[in-house]
Amino acid sequence: MATALTDPPRTRPIYLYFTFLSLLVYLLAPEWFLDIPTTYMLKNHLHATAPQVSTFRLLTGIPLYISFLFGLVRDLWNPFGWRDRGYFFLFAPITAAVFIWMAISPLSYNMLLIGVILAMATFRFILAAFQGLIALIGQETLMTGRLSTLSSSCYQVAIIGAALISGAISENLTPPRTFFLMAALMLLIGAFGFWKPAAVFGHAYEKPQAKGSDFRGDVRRLLQHRAIYPAVLISFLWWFNPGLNTPVQFYLTNQLHASDAAYSNFLGVFAVSFIPTYLLYGYLCTKMPPNRLLWWSTLIAVPQMIPLAFVHSGDTALIFAIPMGLMGGMATAAYFDLAVRSCPPGLQGTLMMLVSAGVMLAARGGDLLGAKLYASSPEHGFLYCVIATTVVYALILPVILWIPKELIATTDGEQSPTLDAEMLAEIG
């Protein structure tokens, strides 16, 4: 029988620390903050063609596709003896140095390509430390659901902010000034290497959840940890969305003859509308276990894209974006919560970055499939995209049955003797 635990008095400083860190890390991630500025540099300064821009995006995403390797490094290597703070302290200045090199180098396609790939790679260490740390603290404090809600909400706010800020940067700053600005902002993340709140770091790495082994032992434990497979697969299916991004952009502007701003406005409203149901999950996860929340949130989310089939104007798209976002918020938070709960002891960074890599592959692959479905029929192509997305989301339901029952049997704040015993057995 799980025993209920009251919120410890250190909850507030945990929220405070991870709110600031989540916003900063997600906001400054080069794949979001630099996407618009670099594509305009290619288009306006270097006169690159559309295929060259798309190839640039594909190649600069290489570090994202292998994110789990950065997570594995985080779990095995302890820079300066500071653990995750060491990664903030070390790799934020290194990433800043990459941007300074880009600022003082002549602008060219190859310079941008090499520089962004390097920045993406060095930033992966920062992201791995952040993801690993929030997962570790979530497990240790029995706050996986609430910290998942916090992280998801900050992610959504940061992505919106990154899009708005990067658009203004593209219009008002030269490429060198853009890179100098990025270098300065990176140092803010480095400052987190000095911030050591006791509520977060007091004995965090001494508890069983943080115990790992050597490289071979960790890889073996990861492969044998049955909880990771449904967690990774569910996240992949959720982000494999053929009905969003390119198909919506072309459908709104080409078939419905809406303005170019209609697509960005749709994405903005869609993203903001996730937040209320993120917060709802943060409340409900303390009242009921994830096994119920996973089913409910998935059943609500399966038809999320169906309203797009009834869009007939840019204004209609903005109206439908609100219920669509609300339908997806609880599911997104629930799947993040599941990933955190599924992390093996001492391998939080590896699994969270494995999920991150799967998400990126799913997003790019889903968009490619959606573009092909859209182009397959001038009359019904967009409907095919909506149907494909609904089918993919429905596939999440049978995967929920694959999740170990004891993993999702306790509410946020409840101890599970069964999971505790399994964890201690796994780390010997």
pLDDT tens digit sequence for 404-427:
999 999 999 898 888 888 888 877
At 296-351, the pLDDT tens digits run 999 999 999 999 989 888 889 999 999 999 999 999 999 999 999 999 999 999 99
Give the confidence band of 389 by pLDDT, cuts at 50, 70, 90.
very high
pTM of the model: 0.90
Q: Check residue 1 and give its pLDDT.
A: 35
> Same structural domain for residues 171 and 242?
no
Average pLDDT, the chain: 90
> Same structural domain for residues 416 and 368?
yes
User: Would 2 be classed as within a structural domain?
Assistant: no
> Same structural domain for residues 75 and 116?
yes
> Same structural domain for residues 183 and 252?
no
Q: Check residue 357 and give its pLDDT.
A: 92
Q: Check residue 50 and give its pLDDT.
A: 64
Which ranges of 273-347 would DSSP assign to H, the alpha helix?
274-284, 290-301, 314-342
Work out the average pLDDT over 38-61: 83
CB neighbourhood size of 336 (10 A): 28
Q: Check residue 247 and give its pLDDT.
A: 86
User: Would 205 be classed as within a structural domain?
Assistant: no
CATH number at residue 67: 1.20.1250.20
User: Would 171 be classed as within a structural domain?
Assistant: yes
Dihedral sign from CA coordinates of 22, 28, 31, 35: positive
User: Would 200 be classed as within a structural domain?
Assistant: no
Element at 357 (helix H, strand E): helix 348-376
SS3 3: strand
> Same structural domain for residues 35 and 170?
yes
Q: Check residue 375 and give its pLDDT.
A: 87
Give the confidence band of 363 by pLDDT, cuts at 50, 70, 90.
confident
> Same structural domain for residues 149 and 251?
no
User: Would 10 be classed as within a structural domain?
Assistant: no
At 155-171, the pLDDT tens digits run 989 888 887 787 788 88
Q: How far apart are CA 105 and CA 103, in angstroms?
A: 6
> Same structural domain for residues 181 and 243?
no
Work out the average pLDDT over 67-89: 95
- Mean pLDDT lowest among 179-193, 252-266, 323-337: 252-266
Domain that holds residue 173: 16-195
> Same structural domain for residues 243 and 160?
no
Q: How far apart are CA 286 and CA 130, in angstroms?
A: 24
Q: Check residue 260 and give its pLDDT.
A: 67
At 365-377, the pLDDT tens digits run 888 888 889 888 8
Residue 3, pLDDT above cutoff 80 = no
User: Would 201 be classed as within a structural domain?
Assistant: no
Element at 112 (helix H, strand E): helix 109-140
Q: Check residue 4 and give its pLDDT.
A: 41
What does the chain come to in residues? 428
At 55-64, the pLDDT tens digits run 888 889 899 9
User: Would 376 be classed as within a structural domain?
Assistant: yes
What φ, ψ does residue 13 adopt, rounded to 5°? -65, -30
More confident residue, 110 or 259: 110
The pair of three-digit structure tokens given for residue 98, joined into one six-digit string: 């990459």
The number of folded domains in the chain is 2
